Structure 1
């Protein structure tokens, strides 16, 4: 059975190739069968592999398909590695990915580039599967770059609008910054440890490097740079809200099942290196804590339904980074799993609303949809409850585990996480109450069909019960120490539980019952500036524009004639003149050549005598 592992990424890749070469000749029906069906086949294969893996001793399995690169000391096979961590990721990518593909079959049905859309989606999924299955960091990097290419193609799918093209380029460039850091990290690791095989590399890291040494700190920092870019964490998070330019199924795939989770997976996979670099691991926790608060605050004031969810994704990935930074590796992966369920649900439910309102995104132009769209309403309620981490939802179990682990490391980090949970409760249920309660702002234009409804139902079940699906990760990660005090742990658990409930209660008072007026609070003089700051994502784009982009443009304008090109043109001109001078000596006259040879002989003899 495990020999089928190679087909998991190959089948979506074959779907991509079929749609690229034959997509225009196929009907939408056949395109959807190839696009969604290929991912569905991979999901079935993963389910079979997972059942056999979990029934056995859960020993890692390695499949080598062939030799990829052999050069000197570098030998990279094209191989896949299956363990509890990669199996968890496979369930997320193929399972949630298939539901998103099924949903997209109806959502994108009227698009003229239906086949191109599914080709890009299949390529994106195939690249992510290579990333999580790779047994070497170089093969992982291949999938990593493939995911970056897929994100560029999908975010800018509607390229006729220049804004979409800009958003795609922004995502591509900002993630390339992190990718460059990751590439440097791979160079360093291979130079020092002479392998890129992940398991061998982690073994050599532990045996040859010591905790707190310079090399592990530098290597871990470079890998963190790559993770920050891909997972949209501070300071490289500004591309993700703009990535909402892509179709809604793309947003669901990027935010829930694939791209933004890649950085979390990378750090978890190389956790042995981060353990040897305490300053960098502390930086991971700090980045996560600050990012989850900043993104949560921005989510409070957004009016675009997808941008609210985008900022919530940045915030929830921040929780995963917080868990990684405090050594709660299993909790981070667990939250990655549950987040995939409820975030895919929320994006697809948002897509149902957008679909019914003919691509309307402003939540204040909706309202009163509770009865008109009951499935979307209940999907939003369940998804928001899980996002907020209300009790008995999947998000509660994973986030609660993260916050308790954070408290054992630093009460400050725990406090930041609890404050973030309160903020999450406010913006999540603000979204629900504004869109689905109150007076109807307008009539819906069309209703969703079965292909969009089925994924919403299944994801609703997973968002509620997904906390029961945690795969044991003890064979991959070390266990956390027991809490230092049971009494303190009980009190902290109570506060951790109360924070999201309090946030939801605040949303009820402001946006459901009208006890307090949110517009009145926002219009206060001291809150207006804060609201604007949150709305613009803390003005980070403006700061980057002033500090990095504008000076670069000024330098480019000053050097528009390119000083370096003048230097090269000067060398070319000098070569041309020397050529002409040499050519002048080639007259074709025998007497000239004979006399030149004679004079040359005289000069050579004279030099010999004088020396």
Structure 2
């Protein structure tokens, strides 16, 4: 276990080497360092998982103190790594899936400007995420949290010569910073009332010093939720995620599958003891997730960009995780986080293969007939899409999503259950809409399949993990998170599984009817008055961007224009203007005329004498 520090040391060294290479190294050397560093981290993680299972640490927890961070008036946080079942699960997801994404990126990014710069950013991204999941205190976690936000800005705006990409990066940075400010306020409140930011100490002290429903704790957990919804793109801070598709496709896979958007889920699960003391906020977590998953499903249904469809599906699936957290299904939320990392990474990487094969075309309506030309990408979409739609028994997504739905039912949250079932139907519908339009029908573009081990190996591994085989991996969460309601199920659970499975199949069948063939009925509905209105509304993701622009952006710009010549600026500017005026007047007296100078001296003397007489 003492090798734990190596998990982040390898990618940290990779970042340093690539950053100081200044882009002068060859692509092969940059890929070797960028991919190899994460690969070594993944191998170290695999060894730690083996050790954790064969020779578990005492109490199921291992801590490794690296060094003291600071010591200020009794506040002495350290850089300490904390490994238990939850952080071990996250460690495996981040390094394992992260390595596959890096390997694929070494193929995808070939020939791009900034090849080594790309891997320096992604290595730092992995390092920051490992700080986040391994930190034993909330300040260390927040350090990694901010590092992930910085890297997302750099990677989303990787193609910075395009102004729209820069705007998308700035939008992601600002929106997530709003959540980060909320989270920082939550940390201030926790430290003020409990005197520590060590996570395990908080779990012990909170029920001792604060009663359930305490006002200060209520506000603290609400602020933590604000941070979580910002980073995990849940309502009302979800607007950045779809625009984040401006970055390279491997970045989308990294942000959406293995790292950034799962951070909010991890935060709430890690601080579950605080949320259990504030049941109203915990209920709000579930409601936020349920509303987000339904709204994102409708938005995905009308998108035309292959990556934006997957982006809204990520928003929806994170909504399922929030729903699970809200009903106390902690283990189900983390289980779905893991399986989602498998099939969503697969879908994003496969979309990257399609985009490259189609000469960087991303509009699914300009593709068509790709299943013969791109058999591996097609198989990836079939398996990944089936897992996303939770096709019964054969996919990883079925087992994790069904566990969430059952826990919602067992805990008595029928409203959230119905939202989850609606989301399941919508997921099947928009997922197979994408597959049928892009891969079936008439071919509209030339496509050339990719080659090489760095192309097919990550897709092949993720295909296997997205099936029921991935669901056999059981996160070691016993004793780390509280037991949920629905461990026993019986006939009721089987009935719900059957119902959700039939709903998923019905969504696929409806997608086949609507989007295979000529699509005359869909076209007629889309061209009708109500159809155009709903399509435009959903295409704009329910108009949140427009609303925020009117409420926040435009008033802010108006204030900046009004304050462009504000009184304070004017009064401060008055001083140099007076000095310049005095200088101008005095300069005019320098005429070089002797008579003028003599008259000036005489006049000055007369004025001084007059003043003396008056004063006396």
Task: Name the CA distance, whole Å, in 2 between partners of 1:334 and 1:427.
Answer: 23
Q: 1:456, 1:294 → 2: CA distance?
A: 30
Report how far residue 284 of structure 1 moved.
0.4
State the secondary structure of the residue aligned to 2:2. helix
Does 2:425 match 1:422?
Answer: yes
Contact 1:509 1:516 in 2 (8 A): no
TM-superposed deviation, 1:516: 6.6
Q: Give matches, 1:224-303, under 5 Å.
A: 224-303=225-304
Q: Deviation string for 1:434-475 (max 9, x for gaps)?
A: 111112112214634321111000000011121111222111
Determine if contact 2:374/2:448 at 8 Å carries over to the other structure: no
Q: CA deviation at 1:211?
A: 1.3
**Which of residues 503, 527, 532 in structure 1 aligns to 2:531?**
527
1:330-369 equivalent positions in 2, closer than 5 A: 330-369=331-370
Residue 463 of structure 2 corresponds to 460
Q: 2 CA distance for matches of 1:523 and 1:406?
A: 38
Question: 2:87 aligns to what?
Answer: 86
Q: How many residues align?
A: 575
CA distance in 2, matches of 1:52, 1:484: 31
Identify the residue that residue 206 of structure 2 maps to in structure 1: 205
Q: What residue number does 1:140 align with?
A: 141
Cα displacement string for residues 392-438 of structure 1 (whole angstroms, at most 9, x for unaligned residues): 21000000000111122311110000000000000001111111111
**Structure 1 residue 201 displacement after superposition:** 1.3
Alignment of 1:41-56 (within 5 A): 41-56=40-55
- 1:19 pairs with 2:23: no
Q: What's the offset of the Cα at 1:569?
A: 6.2
Q: TM-score, normalised by structure 2?
A: 0.91
> 1:343-381 deviations in whole A, cap 9, x for unaligned?
000000000000111210000111101111100000000
Q: Which residue number in structure 2 is paired with residue 544 of structure 1? A: 548
> Secondary structure of the equivalent of 2:197?
coil
Whether the 8 Å contact between 1:231 and 1:260 is mirrored in structure 2 is yes
Q: Deviations over 1:286-345 (max 9, x none)?
A: 000000000000000000000000000000000000000000000000000000000000
Deviations 1:509-562 (A, max 9, x none): 111256872212222222221111000110110000111111111111111123
Partner of 2:108: 107
- TM-score, structure 1 as length reference: 0.91
Secondary structure of 2:69 counterpart: strand
Cα distance change of structure 1 residues 572 and 65 upon mapping to structure 2, 3 Å threshold: farther
The 8 Å contact of residues 301 and 535 in structure 1, kept in 2 or not, is answered as yes
CA distance in 1, matches of 2:572, 2:281: 43
Q: Tell me what 1:449 maps to.
A: 452
Distance in 1 (CA, whole Å) between partners of 2:466 and 2:568 is 58
The separation in 2 between residues aligned to 1:40 and 1:13, in whole angstroms, is: 13
Secondary structure, aligned partner of 2:81? strand
User: Structure 1 pair 569/157, CA: closer, same or farther in 2 (3 Å)?
Assistant: same
Tell me if structure 2 keeps the 8 A contact 1:23–1:31.
Answer: no
In 1, are the aligned partners of 2:328 and 2:485 still within 8 Å (CA)?
Answer: no
- Distance in 1 (CA, whole Å) between partners of 2:380 and 2:283 is 37
* Residue 206 of structure 1, CA deviation: 2.1
Distance 1:484 1:265, change over 3 A: closer
Partner of 2:610: none
**2: distance between equivalents of 1:230 and 1:99?**
23
The match for 1:304 is 305
Q: Would the aligned equivalents of 2:8 and 2:41 in 1 still touch at CA under 8 Å? A: yes
Q: What is the CA distance between 1:129 and its match in structure 2?
A: 0.6
Match of 2:397 in 1: 395
Calculate the aligned-residue CA RMSD, in Å: 1.9
Per-residue deviation, 1:481: 2.7
Q: Which runs of 5+ in 1 are unaligned?
A: 575-611
Asked whether 1:469 is paired with 2:473, we answer yes
**CA shift at 1:57, angstroms?**
3.7
> Post-superposition shift, 1:231?
0.2
Q: What is the distance in 2 between the residues matched to 1:132 and 1:482?
A: 27
> Is the 1:43–1:94 Cα contact (8 Å) retained in structure 2?
yes
1:558 aligns with 2:557: no
Is this contact kept in 1: 2:441–2:517, CA < 8 A?
A: no
Q: Deviations over 1:123-174 (max 9, x none)?
A: 1111001100001100000000000000000000000000000000000000
What is residue 590 of structure 2 aligned with on the other side? none
Tell me the secondary structure at the aligned position of residue 3 of structure 1.
Answer: coil
Q: In structure 1, what is the Cα distance between the partners aligned to 2:173 and 2:248? A: 17
Alignment of 1:62-81 (within 5 A): 62-81=63-82
Contact 2:285–2:323 at 8 Å: present in 1 too? yes
Shift of 1:23: 4.7
Question: Could you say which residue in structure 1 is the equivalent of 2:485?
Answer: 481
The corresponding residue for 1:130 is: 131
Q: Does the aligned pair in 2 maintain the 1:296–1:420 contact within 8 Å?
A: yes
The answer to whether the Cα contact below 8 Å between 1:128 and 1:144 also exists between their aligned partners in 2 is yes
Alpha-carbon distance in 1 for matches of 2:259, 2:305 = 23
Whole-Å separation in 2 of the counterparts to 1:407 and 1:522: 36
Gaps of 5+ in 2: 579-616
Deviates more, 1:16-25 or 1:63-72: 16-25
CA distance in 2, matches of 1:314, 1:527: 24
Residue 441 of structure 1 aligns to a residue in which SS? coil
